Every structure is written in structure tokens, then in C-alpha cells.
Amino acid sequence: MTSRRRLLTASAAMAAGAGGLTAVGVTALPNGSPEGQAKAPAHLRGAAPLPYAQLISLDITLGSERADTLRAAHQAIRAIDGGSVAAWLALGEGAFPSRTDKPRHLKRMPSFAGDVLDPVQSHGDLLLHITGSSARGVRQAAEQTLRALSQQQVRWRADGTRPENRIEDGRGLSRNPFHFTEGHGNPATAAEMTERATVRTGEGEPSWAVGGSYEVIRIIRLATDFWDRDTIDEQERIIGRRREGRWLDGTPSTERAVFAADPHGKTTPLDSHVRRAAPDRRNPPPMVRRSYNYDRGPDDQGLIFSCFQSDLEKGFEAVQHRLQGEAMAKYTLTTGGGYFFVPPPGDTWLRAIADS
Ligand code: HEM
């Protein structure tokens, strides 16, 4: 049986809802901290995200006032954000019934080639994204938020962790379930993160949305048992980097590899993940990845892939299309997630959209 068929079989048997937290190897980092970070929006605060997360997707129940629900959600998130918790609210397409004030790219996440989206862990009108330096703190913050929104319908929940969470050379790194270091391809400065991830004026977006970000969540199940049967060398050729981040041509992890010197992919295969994701080393994909691992037992482990961008098409979608047919595809199965929009800090956006 191929690894993908096993993933699909496991998917059918999958239990919906929250998964267990894997605490092993998770290192708590102080939240963001240096100068300038204090005012950063919660979703981009700190070079490395906090090591624990819970994502809760809600549907606005029929009969609830949209304006009241948005206000309640905003207040509930504001009450928990700060200190050892960084939390934000993101809006799905369903939060914009009139469409006139909707961010221009916001839509229901499509099913990409190979996806098997499970409706019970996909989409949602609102996303509460709660991160923190301890699993307990995140759980408490999540329960407090849900009490304030008890009239709304929970659609799905997902718990995540970032094992070996750390900052190196300005980048937040962690270890994914395939044992590879994640995060080297992200920007090294807060200014560059903001540049890639936040909407600016002149981009055709409603004015309330300026300073906000498109957030993509993909619940990606990984066939870790099959992966672990490959040699480390094979795994590294599938990813296109060594586990620790060094490039296959020996270039250190913090520098740019020169793919032009390897046009036929002898050293770094043309269907490797990094080569597909970012073929032009001078123009990295305009997105910031801040993903978490999830672990719901031996048959269901993977990534809560999460990325932020100012433009969904140039950011996530362009990369996702290029990844079609990559060597890693047979070890992965996307079963959920959604497209959301994180409003800018403050509450001007709320006044602009809640009463429109
Ligand atoms: C299927 C699960 C995935 C795994 C296990 C995975 C793993 C990795 C690893 C190990 C790296 C190299 C280190 C780094 O730069 O972070 C990487 C880079 C990257 N990945 Fe993924 N990834 C996955 C899914 C995705 C998806 C869905 C996207 C976007 C559609 C994506 C976009 C990228 C980008 C843009 C880079 C940076 C490339 C570079 O600048 O060199 N990845 N990924």
C-alpha cells in the first residue's frame, strides 16, 4: 500500500476535534520582546511564534447579529492577548455576508490537487488563533474566550506545538514531524516580515484592511512511518536541504543556495520541496510561515501549516501550485484548514465593517 493510500485510509477513520499536545522538546521563548516588537500585531509578534497553540474555528450561528458577534470576539481576544499569550482573531469569508467590505482575495479555501478536505476541520466564519508559552496557559485562554462566545458554533479545533522552538540569525526555527528544521526560508527581520505579510494602501483592498494579513491554515497529515523508512539522505533530497538547514551543495543554512549552478538538479533535485517552493533565490515567495506540529496519535500526525501574506495569490497560492508534483507529495495529505483575514491592530476595522 502506498504511503498516500495509508494516509487516505487513516483519514477516513480520523476522529474530528482537538488533538493531544506533545510537550516533548518544546522550548518556551520570551514573547517577542525586543524594541519594536511590543507593538507588533499578535500574529507577527516575535521572531519565533510562541511554542503552543490552539486554533478554534467558529461559525456564526443563524440569528446572531454579525456586528455583536464580531465585537464579542474582538473583546474576548483582546482580554487574553499579552504577556505569555499572543492571540488574534481572523475572519473567514462567511463573516462578510454583504461582500461589499470583504478583503478582495478572501474566499473559501479551494481544494487543491491531492487534497481531501474534511468539512469538520475546514473553513469557518471566525478563527481564534491562540498561542502561548505553556500548553496550560493556552487551554485556559481558549476556554475563557469560548465562554464569551458561547452562542457561536465551534466548527473545529486543533492543538499545535513547536518542538525545539528557537531563534537563530533572527529567524524563528522549530523541528517538524519529518525531523527537519522549519523556518530558514523566512525573513530575518521584523520589517521584512511586515513587508511580506501585511496589506498596504494602493493594493485595491478596502481601507479598513490596510495593516491586516491574509492567513492560510492547512492541516497537513504526514506519513511519518513511511518517511522514517527512507534514509536520511533520501529525505534530504526530497526536501532539498539537510535536516539542520544546510543546503545540499554545502552552502550554510543562513546563506542563499545558487540553483543556477545546478540547472538539471543533480545536487538539489528539481522536484525537491525548496526548489519548487522558491526556485528564484533572489525573489523569495512573499509569505511568512509560522507553522505548528500536531499529534493526535500514531495515525494522525502532521503540520498545522500556517502562513501570512499581503496577497493570497502571489503568496500562498503561487507556491502551492508550484508544489504540485513535488517529491514530498506522496507523504502528505491535506485534510483541512481555511482562508482567513487578520484585521489590523486596534478597532477601527470593527467600526468600519461591523455596522456596514
Ligand atoms: C507538507 C508539509 C510541509 C513540510 C514538511 C515542509 C517542510 C519544509 C522545510 C523542511 C523547509 C526548509 C526549511 C525552511 O525554509 O523552513 C521548507 C521550506 C519552505 N516551504 Fe515547506 N513544508 C511543507 C508544506 C509547505 C506548504 C504547503 C507551503 C506553501 C504552499 C510551503 C512553503 C515553503 C516555502 C516558501 C519554503 C522556503 C523555501 C526557501 O526559501 O528556501 N511548505 N518547508
Q: Is pLDDT above 50 for 21?
A: no
State in Å: Cα 233 to ligand 1 middle. 18
Write down all domains in the chain, each with its CATH number in brackets: 3-354 (3.30.70.3420)
Q: Which helix (H) or strand (E) holds 146?
A: helix 135-148
Residue 98 binned pLDDT confidence (cut-offs 50, 70, 90): confident
Supply the DSSP string of 258-298, one letter for each residue: -GGG-TT-SSS-TTSHHHHH---TTS--S-EE--EEEESST
Which residue from 273, 283, 284, 294 is spatially nearest to 337, judged by alpha carbons? 294
At 214 the three-state DSSP class reads: strand
Give 221's strand partners: 302, 333
Q: Which atom of ligand 1 lies at the shortest distance from residue 328's CA?
A: 1
Which residue from 199, 218, 220, 206 is spatially nearest to 309, judged by alpha carbons? 199
State in Å: Cα 132 to ligand 1 middle. 23
Q: Rounded to an integer, what distance in angstroms lies between the CA atom of residue 134 and that of residue 28?
A: 7
Q: Which atom of ligand 1 lies at the shortest distance from residue 176's CA?
A: 5
Sheet with strand 166-168: strands edge to edge: 166-168, 171-175, 181-182
Question: From the CB of 240, is ligand 1 less than 6 Å away?
Answer: no
- Overall average pLDDT of the 313-326 stretch: 98
**Which of 117, 176, 289 has most ligand 1 atoms within 8 Å of CB, for mutation?**
289
Question: From the CB of 327, is ligand 1 less than 6 Å away?
Answer: no
State in Å: Cα 74 to ligand 1 middle. 31
Residue 356 binned pLDDT confidence (cut-offs 50, 70, 90): low
State in Å: Cα 273 to ligand 1 middle. 7
Per residue in 25-46, pLDDT (tens digit) is 566 554 444 434 446 899 999 9
DSSP label of 241: B
Q: Between the CA of residue 101 and those of 32, 90, 107, 203, 207, what are the distances in Å?
A: 32, 15, 13, 14, 9
DSSP label of 39: T
CB-based contact 342:41 (threshold 8 Å): yes
Per residue in 112-168, pLDDT (tens digit) is 999 999 999 999 999 999 999 999 999 999 999 999 999 999 999 999 999 999 999
- pLDDT for position 134: 98
For residue 17 the three cell numbers come to 476535534
Q: Rounded to an integer, what distance in angstroms lies between the CA atom of residue 279 and that of residue 285?
A: 9
Question: From the CB of 274, is ligand 1 less than 6 Å away?
Answer: yes
Question: From the CB of 185, is ligand 1 less than 6 Å away?
Answer: yes
Considering only 94-103, 131-140, 240-249, 336-345, which range has the smallest mean pLDDT? 94-103
For residue 121 the three cell numbers come to 476541520
Q: Rounded to an integer, what distance in angstroms lies between the CA atom of residue 234 and that of residue 12?
A: 29
Q: Which atom of ligand 1 lies at the shortest distance from residue 316's CA?
A: 30
CB-based contact 213:342 (threshold 8 Å): yes
Q: Which atom of ligand 1 lies at the shortest distance from residue 182's CA?
A: 16
Q: Rounded to an integer, what distance in angstroms lies between the CA atom of residue 325 and that of residue 322?
A: 8
Give me the percent of the chain exceeding a pLDDT of 90: 83
Per residue in 203-216, pLDDT (tens digit) is 999 999 999 999 99
User: Measured in whole angstroms, how far is the alpha carbon of residue 290 from the centre of its chain?
Assistant: 5
State in Å: Cα 19 to ligand 1 middle. 23
Which residue from 113, 155, 162 is spatially nearest to 135, judged by alpha carbons? 162
State in Å: Cα 343 to ligand 1 middle. 25
Phi, psi of 167 (to 5 degrees): -120, 130
State in Å: Cα 182 to ligand 1 middle. 7
